[in-house]
Amino acid sequence: MATIRARKLADGTVSYTAQIPIKRDGVQVYQESQIFARKQAAQAWIKRQETELAQSSTTETAT
C-alpha cells in the first residue's frame, strides 16, 4: 500500500514524499519513492506507478 508523507522544510514550505513498497510472502521485495511539491502530483504518480507495477507483475507471472 502506498503512502504519502508531508514534510515541512527549513524554508517553511511543505514537500510530499510518495512511497510504494511491494511485499511478497511478508518480505519487502521492491520499494520506490519520490518527492513532490504538491500532494496532487504525488497522488497521480502513485496511481501511475501502481498501474504500471500491476501490469508488469501480471506479465511476470504469466511467463
Alpha carbons 42 and 24: distance in angstroms, whole number:
24
Residue 52 pLDDT > 60, yes or no? Answer: yes
CB burial of residue 62 (10 Å; 0-12, 13-18, 19+): exposed
Do the beta carbons of residue 39 and residue 14 sit within 8 Å?
no
Three cell numbers written together for 52: 504500471
CB burial of residue 20 (10 Å; 0-12, 13-18, 19+): middle
Residue 58 pLDDT > 80, yes or no? Answer: no
At residue 4, the pLDDT reads: 97
At residue 59, the pLDDT reads: 54
pLDDT digits (tens, 9 = 90+) for 6-43: 999 999 999 999 999 988 898 988 899 999 999 999 99
What are the extents of the domains in the chain? 3-62
